[in-house]
Amino acid sequence: MTVAIVDDDAADCLRSVEWTRRYWGGRGERDPLYIQTFSSGNEFLAALAHGRFSLVLLDCCMPGTDGLATARALRALDGEAVVIFTTASCDYAVDGYSVEAAGYLVKPYSFEAFALALDRARPRLVRQRPFLLVPAAGGEAQVLVEELVYCDADKHYSQLHLAGARPLRVRISFSALLRLLAPYPQFLFCYRGCAVNLAHVRRAEELAFLMDTGERVPFRRKERAKLLRQYEDYLFEKARREHP
């Protein structure tokens, strides 16, 4: 999940970062969490040219472009982002409906109030999560990308190994499946006919990735150095985005 925290108060911004991580970790979410912070509405709006955010924690009372004006500009570009206002004033509460705000937190607020606001917004966040459409009996099935631990080829079929569920065998070639996975950089092609979701890797062993499901996905010794370098690059990028 991508989160934008927009607040000109550095202490409030830092607290929102810490509480978002605490909330996400406490709910056992598998979807990777990426947080970016912005000290003004204009800075945040400029960032929208490079990507979208699933959740926006937005301070109303900021110099320059205030939170409500920022939210209106956001809505002109993105109708799905979940917006929760954080502010020291109740004056904007009614106006929040005009931009479909999912919550309104009045400073100072507790972590419990913060968590409750995110709990209420959670159904809208879940609907934004990326998924794959794969062939299934009678039509197509939706598979959440974050639930896909690894996948491998099985003749003219592909097997999707899912967290907390039995493998799903679907009639799609592995090359076609890789094309579906191409937009998601967390998937690593580790040998012919197999790709792992690095978000589910617990650690790299001598000749295998140990997944958080307890399964081991092997790789060839001659590919080890390259695969470990790609895994380390993934971890570095993940840390950079989670701790801006």
What does the pLDDT read at residue 42?
93
Per-residue pLDDT, averaged over 170-176, amounts to 92
What does the pLDDT read at residue 95?
59
What does the pLDDT read at residue 238?
77
Tens digits of residue pLDDT in 196-242: 999 999 999 999 999 999 999 999 999 999 999 999 999 888 777 66
Radius of gyration of the chain (CA): 21
Q: What is the mean pLDDT of the chain?
A: 88
Q: Is the pLDDT of residue 114 over 60?
A: yes
Tens digits of residue pLDDT in 6-50: 999 999 999 999 999 999 888 766 677 889 999 999 999 999 888
Residue 100, Cβ density class (10 Å: 0-12 exposed, 13-18 middle, ≥19 buried): middle
Higher pLDDT, 183 or 204: 204
What does the pLDDT read at residue 244?
55
Instruction: Report d(CA 19, CA 26) in Å as an integer.
Output: 10
High-pLDDT (> 90) share of the chain, %: 52
What does the pLDDT read at residue 122?
86
Confidence of residue 62 (pLDDT cuts 50, 70, 90): confident
What does the pLDDT read at residue 43?
93
Instruction: Report d(CA 139, CA 159) in Å as an integer.
Output: 17
Start-to-end CA distance of the chain, whole Å, equals 15
Nearest to 219 by CA among 195, 202, 241, 243: 195
Helix axes 10-26, 111-127, angle to 10 degrees: 60
What does the pLDDT read at residue 184?
87
What are the CA-CA distances from residue 149 to residues 31, 157, 206, 210 (Å)?
A: 12, 17, 20, 11
Residue 131 identity: F
Confidence of residue 142 (pLDDT cuts 50, 70, 90): confident
What does the pLDDT read at residue 93?
55
